[in-house]
Amino acid sequence: MKRNDLSRCTWDNRCHPSPCTSDKSPCSTSLNEPVAPITRGTYDLVLLQESLQQPSEQQSLYTSRRRDISACYAISLHAVLSLFAHLATRRPRAISPCMKSPTRRHRSSDKPIGRHRPIATHQIDRYIEALRYLEPYHHFKYATIPWLHYLCRAKVEYSVFRKYLGYLREAPNHYIGYPVQQLASPNTPYKTVVYELAERGLNELINRGITPKRYSPDPEAKPPKSKRNHAFALHRSNSYYHEIIVDLGYYAPLHHLTRTDQSLRLLDFAQLLAHPNVPKATRESRDPLLVQLQYEQTRFDGTPHLIIRTREDGVEYPLGIPGIQVDRGTERFEQVEKHIKHAIEFVEGRHYERHWGFDNCLVPFLFTKEVRKNRAMQFIRQERGKCPFILCQTIPDFGLLPHFPKPQHYDRAYQFKDGEWVPPDNIHVFTNPWQRVGFPDFYLNTFSEESTK
Tell me, yes or no, whether 297 lies in a domain.
yes
pLDDT (tens digit per residue) in 64-106: 555 555 555 555 666 766 766 666 565 555 555 555 655 666 6
pLDDT (tens digit per residue) in 236-255: 988 999 999 999 999 999 99
Task: Tell me: cis bond preceding 253? Omega within 30 of 0 counts.
Answer: no
pLDDT (tens digit per residue) in 175-233: 999 999 999 989 988 999 999 999 999 999 999 999 888 777 666 666 554 444 466 68
Residues in CB range of 308: below 8 A, 6 or more apart = 264, 265, 266, 267, 316, 317, 318, 319
pLDDT for res 233? 80
Last residue of a domain, one of 77, 93, 117: 77
H or E stretch at 79: helix 55-89
Tell me, yes or no, whether 264 lies in a domain.
yes
Residue 182 near residue 191 (C-beta atoms within 8 A): yes
Tell me, yes or no, whether 92 lies in a domain.
no
Residue 317 near residue 308 (C-beta atoms within 8 A): yes
* Residue 442 β-bridge partners: 434
Tell me, yes or no, whether 293 lies in a domain.
yes
Tell me, yes or no, whether 89 lies in a domain.
no
Last residue of a domain, one of 58, 77, 96: 77
Question: Helix 55-89 to helix 40-53 angle, to the nearest 10 degrees?
Answer: 170
Q: Say yes or no: 199 and 275 in one domain.
A: no
Tell me, yes or no, whether 100 lies in a domain.
no
Q: Say yes or no: 284 and 397 in one domain.
A: yes
Q: Say yes or no: 230 and 255 in one domain.
A: no
Distance CA 251, CA 147 (A): 11
Q: Say yes or no: 212 and 319 in one domain.
A: no
Distance CA 375, CA 328 (A): 13
pLDDT for res 201? 94
Q: Say yes or no: 123 and 192 in one domain.
A: yes
pLDDT for res 104? 66
Residue ranges in the chain modelled with pLDDT below 50: 1-41, 43, 45-48, 51-52, 55-59, 62, 225-229
Q: Say yes or no: 152 and 214 in one domain.
A: yes
Q: Say yes or no: 222 and 256 in one domain.
A: no
pLDDT for res 437? 97
Please list, residue by residue across 357-382, b when 16 or more beta carbons sit within 10 angstroms of its beta carbon and e when fewer do.
bbeebbbbbbbbeeebbeebbebbee
Total domains in the fold of the chain: 3
pLDDT for res 3? 42
Distance CA 244, CA 164 (A): 23
Q: Say yes or no: 257 and 158 in one domain.
A: no
Which amino acid is present at 262?
Q
Q: Say yes or no: 45 and 129 in one domain.
A: no
Residue range(s) defining the domain that contains residue 31: 3-77
Q: Say yes or no: 126 and 219 in one domain.
A: yes
pLDDT for res 173? 92
Tell me, yes or no, whether 331 lies in a domain.
yes
pLDDT for res 234? 83
Last residue of a domain, one of 57, 77, 97: 77
- Around Cβ 53, how many Cβ atoms within 10 Å? 9
Please list, residue by residue across 197-217, b when 16 or more beta carbons sit within 10 angstroms of its beta carbon and e when fewer do.
bbebbbebbeeeeebeeeebe
Distance CA 214, CA 287 (A): 9
Residue 181 near residue 110 (C-beta atoms within 8 A): no
List alpha helices for 252-363, DSSP H.
Answer: 252-260, 269-272, 280-283, 333-348, 351-356
Q: Give burial (CB, 10 Å; 0-12/13-18/19+) of 347.
A: buried
Dihedrals phi, psi of 214, to nearest 5 degrees: -115, 150
Sign of CA dihedral 432, 435, 438, 444: negative
DSSP-derived secondary structure letter, 190: G
Tell me, yes or no, whether 96 lies in a domain.
no
Q: Say yes or no: 141 and 285 in one domain.
A: no
pTM here is 0.76
| DSSP helix, strand, coil percent of the chain (3-state; round to 5) | 40, 10, 50
Distance CA 125, CA 74 (A): 66
Distance CA 218, CA 181 (A): 27
Q: Say yes or no: 279 and 378 in one domain.
A: yes
